[in-house]
Amino acid sequence: MARLSEKIGYGFGDMASSMFWKIFSYYLPVFYSDVFGLKPAHAATLLLITKLYDAVSDPMMGLIADRTVSRWGKYRPYLLWMAIPFAVIGILSFYVPDTSYTVKHVYAYVMYILMMTVYTAVNVPYGALLGVISTDSKERSVFSSFRMFFAYVGSFIAMGVFWIFERSVSGKVNAAGQTIRGVGDADPSSWLLTVSAVAAACAVLFLLCFALTRERVQGERTTERGSILKDLKQLAGNGPWWLLLGAGIGQLLFASLRGGAAAYYFANILGGNLFLSCALFLIIGEIAQMLGVTLAVPLSSRLGKRGAFRATLLLAAVINAGIFWIPAGTAGLWILVACQILVGLAVGVGSPLIWSMFADIAEDSRRRNGNLSTGLIFSSSSMAQKFGGAFGGFILLMILGAAGYSAGSAEQTGEALTAIRSLMSWIPSIGAVAAVVCLCFYPLRLEKDVVE
């Protein structure tokens, strides 16, 4: 039985990852379009192309981690080696060079690709660590719950920092002489300072995760020339892995679309100077998700992991779609808050379950194939995150561009406002429904073999 300190330490790893992931999911689109100055179509293409690169880098990192030999294990050392590069490149990703549009465009590509590379180098091994931290599936579910609870703590802190940022600049005049209605109007130096504070905390948390965790599960590892091809072939034939990958992409597409649309929604639909700011709205969602995580173990005990995950995703999709019809005014604002709380609770239940289900798939693969390919299997979870986030950002910016959204304008066209409402409500729900469909075909037999 693992100690409480180890479960907390494991949680610190995703607390760090989640801080930057939520900033990328919620604020990177508006940063690129309104602060960095990229055209929406260019920013959308950037987010999509980098994910094609990630489609290769994630499984490659999984293969590398599986073959790593060190005195600290296979996966833990990457928490130590990548902590500082993660923080430094994260800061540089939000730096706006004072140069031509072409150079800035190239700079954005280089820095975002580098950021996704270091994110992969730390997050894939970190995820795989769950598969070797314990041989007990129920204990892995507990570790996964700690992971997601602290992930939401990290998100809460990051959104809290951005709430302070938003409150500090709201109503002031930026360098262009515009009255700041939201973080999209803030000066680049304010963005850089805010992100730097988050990056420093991330580095410390990764180091603590390394220090407090241990690897316990060992598997036979073949090193013949054909072993990599063999691992990839086994993964390609793993049906549950494909279904869970699809569910993960749909889940993250739902989260990234609605989260990324929030900044546009508050600035253009609700207007500025409200008691409920965009950052505070997102903080409320993070708190609700933290509470939802505590329900994951009891609900999965009654419904099974697949059943609990599927039911809560469907609930979140239905509630979120209804946001499109929320009226303007104070009453509508309170309805919006209620929807955010309910969606947050539902999403919070499913978040730790998907990680535990990937660990179950890795354990089942180890039993059937006799080798330890945990890193390769868990690379899919990181890949799902990035695909979901990338497609979310791509869809968001492409729809806004097609609808005639004008960055920095106080007045948008009717088509642009309708697009923003849709991106905040029923469009993200399509991703959640797609995830539910994948889970309907996920073989419950695998869960029973491993959990029971």
Residues recorded for the chain: 452
365/224: higher pLDDT: 365
Average pLDDT over residues 384-405: 84
- Look up residue 374 and give its amino acid: T
pLDDT digits (tens, 9 = 90+) for 232-288: 788 888 888 899 989 989 998 999 899 889 989 988 888 655 557 788 898 899 899
The domains located in the chain, with CATH, are 4-213+228-451 (1.20.1250.20)
pLDDT at 420 (0 to 100): 95
Whole-number Cα distances in Å, 234 to 224, 242, 371:
16, 12, 11
pLDDT at 447 (0 to 100): 46
Residue 179 has pLDDT above 60, yes or no: yes
Residue 180 has pLDDT above 70, yes or no: no
pLDDT at 230 (0 to 100): 80
pLDDT at 335 (0 to 100): 93
Contact 231, 373 (CB under 8 A): yes
Question: Helix crossing, 444-451 with 330-369: angle to 10°?
Answer: 70
Maximum distance among all Cα pairs of the chain, rounded to whole angstroms: 66
Q: What is the DSSP letter of 268?
A: I
Lowest-confidence pick of 163-177, 210-224, 400-414: 210-224
Helix (H, G, I), strand (E, B), or coil: what is residue 303? helix
Compute the CA torsion angle 249, 434, 146, 355 (nearest 10 deg): -60
Helix (H, G, I), strand (E, B), or coil: what is residue 173? strand
218-244 burial by CB neighbour count: b if 16+ within 10 A, else e? ebeeeeeeebeeebeebbeebebbbbb
Residue carrying structure tokens 């304008």: 409
Helix (H, G, I), strand (E, B), or coil: what is residue 238? coil
CA distance 293 to 14: 14
pLDDT digits (tens, 9 = 90+) for 98-121: 999 999 999 999 999 999 899 999
CA distance 316 to 325: 16
Contact 265, 282 (CB under 8 A): no
pLDDT at 4 (0 to 100): 93
Contact 77, 70 (CB under 8 A): yes
Instruction: Kindly give, in sequence order, each residue whose CB lies less than 8 Å from that of residue 193, ignoring residues fewer than 6 positions away.
Output: none
Residue 207 has pLDDT above 90, yes or no: yes
Task: Give the number of other CB atoms < 10 A from CB of residue 433.
Answer: 16
Q: Give the confidence band of 89 by pLDDT, cuts at 50, 70, 90.
A: very high
pLDDT at 224 (0 to 100): 41
Instruction: Kindly give, in sequence order, each residue whose CB lies less than 8 Å from that of residue 38, ignoring residues fewer than 6 positions away.
Output: 32, 46, 104, 105, 108
83/58: higher pLDDT: 83
211/290: higher pLDDT: 211
For 245-307, strand residue ranges (E) read none
pLDDT at 211 (0 to 100): 96
